[in-house]
Structure formats: structure tokens, C-alpha cells
Amino acid sequence: MSYHNDLIIRTAKGESTERTPVWLMRQAGRILKEYRDLRSNLSGFKELVETPHLAAEVTIQPVDLLDVDAAIIFSDILVVPEAMGLTYEMIEKKGPYFPKTIETENDLNQLIIPEPYERLGYTLEAIKITKKELAGKVPIIGFAGAPWTIFSYMIEGGGSKTFSKAKKMLYTNPKLSHKLLEMITKTTTNYLKAQIECGAEIVQLFDSWAGILSEDQYKEFALPYISKICDSINKVPMTVFAKGAYFVRKEMGGLNCRTIGLDWNMDPILSRELIGADKTLQGNLDPCVLYSDFKTIEQKTKEMLGKFKGHSHIANLGHGVYPDISPDAVRCFIDTVKSFQ
């Protein structure tokens, strides 16, 4: 398919481009009034995720309203454990909650490795609708949670400052931990492949809780499973974003993926040295910079871009945009990236 704007695909592949492409994690969401208006008429977050034409609508909103260089499908990383048989609820202003968690081998035996078109068809249909509606305007990014992050929710039962239950499982029952991580890895691989079949041109793995683990634990319980997924995805460029995993940047450079995402605590110059020259890097402005005045946003964005200059780079924040950030501040960030020489 030909695109009016294929900057992000060419950059991800390491090709030379006329400017730096830009998009934002969580760009489809609460920063936009149009999203909040649509959401207010629904029972909740899950209804939006599970209704394909509505998920497609909010996926496209930031493309039209913010003029970003890619659309990322509106969904949630927790659709994977739900498809495996572990239902979650999204509690307003509190976040995800799993009424049942994985504690024993018997609990594990209740899970399945689902067929994505049967259990995750709503997201796949949303990708198809989005692709048709965009008509080649910009590419679509598909995504999933990395195995360790999904594992942590399935054990912990929700968000946590420490994820001590999940880490306890790694120490007290490593055999069960590896079994569950393997199931998540197979499910995630199948899901990403299905997203690609339905129209995703780039896919991203989010390891949101990578920084909770020690280097040794990450190398045993996280990185090998990310590597398996990367080795299985070869039809489109893939991005790995492991927040807080500064201690494995060198190893990230050896993954069979095209792009490595950096959080705002990872210096781009040192990260480039550790990761290598052949990977595209993505990131990494501190989201809180967008609370500043426009002059400061412009200055800090240019400083960030300067550190990535000379190599393939996709501009983004170092994590998702926060819901109370002004859309005008986001536009200032985007416009600064687009005009940067």
C-alpha cells in the first residue's frame, strides 16, 4: 500500500528521511475533548476497546486533530490476559483490577493460548476499519504488552508500586513463572501476527514494568521472551519499549527488532553507544515538559532532538502523554519536531 506519509516506516527501517517522524504514546485518549465526549456516552473504557468502530474513531482522532505521523490502534495491553481466560475490570480513576489471579499450577491450567481472531477479534476488526478510514494517510501501529508486564498484572491483580507478589513468584516458583511467561509469549506472538495481517504496519511491545526487576531477573524472566517475539515478527518493523530497563540497553541492541524506545531517564547519546548505530531509537522527552510554556517546550524538544541527530530517530515522549496535558502543548511539541533542521 502507498501512503501519503510513510516517514515512520522509512525511519524505522533505517532509511534516510526528510525530517524526523513524530507520534505520542497514549495520543488517542483523554487529552482530546473529542475522546472525552465520545467516552462519556459509554459504560466505560472496556466498551470503547471492545467496540471496533468506536475504537477506530478514537484511533484516528489524533491523526486529524494533532497531525501526528502514525495512528496507534486504541486498545489495552490487558486484552491479552483476558483472551487467555483471566478477566479484568477497569475501575474509573483507579486502573485495572483482576478479580482472580494466578497463584498455583491449577490456576495456570485454567488458562488457554487463544486463537486471536476468536478472542481478540474486536481489536483486529478495529485495525481493519481504521486502515480503510485512513486510506493511506498515515501507517497504523499495532501493539501488545511484553510478557513480563502482562505476567505482573496476572499475578499481582492490578497496578502496584512494588509488584512484590509478581516478583515473589519469580523467586518462589520459577518453574510456574516460566510456564506462564511462555504462554503469554505464544499468545502475544499470535496476536501481533494477526494485527499485521489486518493492517498494522509497525508493531510495538510495551514493557511498562521492566524497571521493577533487577538486571539478573530481567535477563532471565523478561528479555528471552521479548527476544522470542522479535524473532517471530519479520513482516513489519518492530519496536521494543522497556521503561526503566537502562541496565540492558546493550542487550537490547542485539534484539531482532528495528527500533528501541527510550524513556526520559535514558540519555540518547549514551544509549546510542550502548545499543549500536544500526537501530532506530524512539523517544524520549519527559512528558512533564509539556506542562511548561511553549517557549520551554520548544527549547527542551530541540535539545532532545539534537542528541539524536545523525542517526535514525522517531520522536516521541519517554512514556505516555498524561491526561491533563493541554492538546496545544502537544501540538507545540509536534510542530517543533516537524520544523527541526
Q: Is the pLDDT of residue 145 over 70?
A: yes
Q: Quick one: average pLDDT of 254-283? A: 98
Given pLDDT bands bounded at 50, 70 and 90, which one contains residue 210?
A: very high
Backbone angles phi, psi at 71, to 5 degrees: -105, 135
Query: CA 66, CA 327: separation in Å to the nearest integer?
Result: 8
Is there a domain that residue 268 lies in? yes
Angle at 138 between CA 133 and CA 141, to 5 degrees: 90
Task: Give the other-Cβ count within 10 Å of 106's Cβ.
Answer: 8
pLDDT at 3: 72
Residue 93 has pLDDT above 90, yes or no: no
Mean pLDDT of 196-205: 98
> Residue 2 domain-assigned?
no
pLDDT at 94 over 90: no
CB atoms within 10 A of CB 260: 25
The type of residue at 30 is R
pLDDT at position 2 over 80 = no
Q: pLDDT tens-digit profile of 169-183?
A: 999 999 999 999 999
Is 1's pLDDT higher than 80? Answer: no
Q: Find the mean pLDDT for residues 120-130.
A: 98
Residue 56 pLDDT > 80: yes
> Which CATH number characterizes residue 221's domain?
3.20.20.210
- Give the residue carrying C-alpha cell 513468584: 169
pTM over 0.95, yes/no: yes
pLDDT in tens, 101-118: 999 999 999 999 999 999
The 10 Å Cβ neighbour count of residue 102 is: 26
CA–CA distances in Å: residue 323 to residues 62, 108, 144, 320: 14, 35, 21, 9
Average of per-residue pLDDT values in the chain: 97
Strands in 257-296 per DSSP E: 259-261, 280-285
Would you say how long the chain is, in residues?
341
Say if residues 73 and 55 touch (Cβ distance below 8 Å): yes
Q: Is residue 135 part of a domain?
A: yes
Domain that holds residue 55: 7-339
DSSP string, 76-130: -TTHHHHHHT---EEETTTEEE-SS---SHHHHHT-----HHHHSHHHHHHHHHH
- Phi first, then psi, for residue 90 (nearest 5°) are -105, 105
CA distance 288 to 299: 14
pLDDT at site 17: 96
Q: Catalytic positions, please?
A: 26, 30, 39, 76, 153
Inside any domain, residue 112: yes
Per-residue confidence band for 308, with pLDDT thresholds at 50, 70 and 90: very high
pLDDT at 24 over 70: yes
Give the count of domains, the chain.
Answer: 1
Return the pLDDT at 39.
94
